[in-house]
């Protein structure tokens, strides 16, 4: 093994990339998605640091790549994620980056829901000044069991109109974990 000043050189092939994931979650599905992304990144030889945006996360400096992840509620992303992206837009753009958007609109893509997804991300980009290099739309979950009575009724009506389950006795998850694995593997090897 080659060395400099008596210290062994570490082959470049075993130097791990460092990934920062900043996320927000309302009902926990985005946090579940992020935990899955972490496991997949580690399996691909990437060192991962993940922070909820409300917990004073670090800046992207010192990381090789970054992913922001948030869920859509009332046609908006959580304010902590918007604030983080706004404050770090330049640093985010200086390294490989992606935006993972979690929503029920991604569960059954139609022309209308695809247009909504594009509109929501466009508003996020405009508000933050950050244009992600890659956007990954991920279907969320209906957390009927966790909703209060009023929210359960509202979500049931929305689900009925879009063809999702209206069985409020259990939660319904629509996330495509295999698609998430493919996204993460591609992202880690760019």
Strand partners, 97: 66
Give me the pLDDT at residue 141, please. 85
Percent of the chain beyond pLDDT 90? 59
Give me the pLDDT at residue 118, please. 92
Residue pLDDT, tens place only, 51-68: 999 999 999 999 999 999
Residue pLDDT, tens place only, 60-116: 999 999 999 999 988 899 999 999 999 999 999 999 999 999 988 888 777 888 888
- As a whole number of angstroms, the distance between CA 144 and CA 41 comes to 30
Average pLDDT, the chain: 88
Q: Are 28 and 142 in contact (CB under 8 A)?
A: no
Residue 1 has pLDDT above 50, yes or no: no
- Residue 23's pLDDT band, with cuts at 50, 70 and 90, is very high
Measure the CA angle with vertex 102, ends 126 and 184; round to 5°. 100
- As a whole number of angstroms, the distance between CA 84 and CA 81 comes to 5
Give me the pLDDT at residue 119, please. 93
Give me the pLDDT at residue 2, please. 44
Residue 5 has pLDDT above 70, yes or no: no
Measure the CA angle with vertex 131, ends 57 and 107; round to 5°. 85
């Amino acid at each position: 093994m080659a060395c400099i000043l008596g210290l062994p050189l570490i082959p470049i092939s075993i130097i791990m990339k460092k990934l920062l994931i900043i996320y927000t979650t309302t009902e926990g599905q985005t946090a579940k998605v992020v935990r899955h992304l972490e496991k997949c990144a580690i399996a691909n030889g990437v060192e991962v640091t993940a922070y909820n945006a409300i917990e004073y996360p670090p800046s992207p400096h010192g990381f090789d790549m970054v992913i922001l992840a948030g869920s859509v509620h009332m046609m908006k992303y959580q304010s902590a994620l918007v604030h983080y992206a706004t404050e770090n837009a330049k640093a985010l753009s200086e390294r490989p980056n992606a935006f993972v958007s979690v929503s029920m609109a991604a569960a059954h893509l139609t022309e209308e829901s695809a247009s909504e997804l594009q509109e929501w991300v466009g508003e996020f980009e405009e508000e933050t000044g950050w244009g992600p290099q890659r956007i990954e739309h991920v279907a969320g979950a209906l957390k009927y069991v966790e909703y209060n009575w009023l929210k359960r009724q509202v979500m049931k009506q929305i689900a009925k109109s879009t063809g999702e389950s209206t069985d409020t006795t259990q939660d319904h998850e629509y996330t495509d974990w295999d698609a998430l694995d493919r996204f993460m593997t591609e992202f880690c090897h760019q």
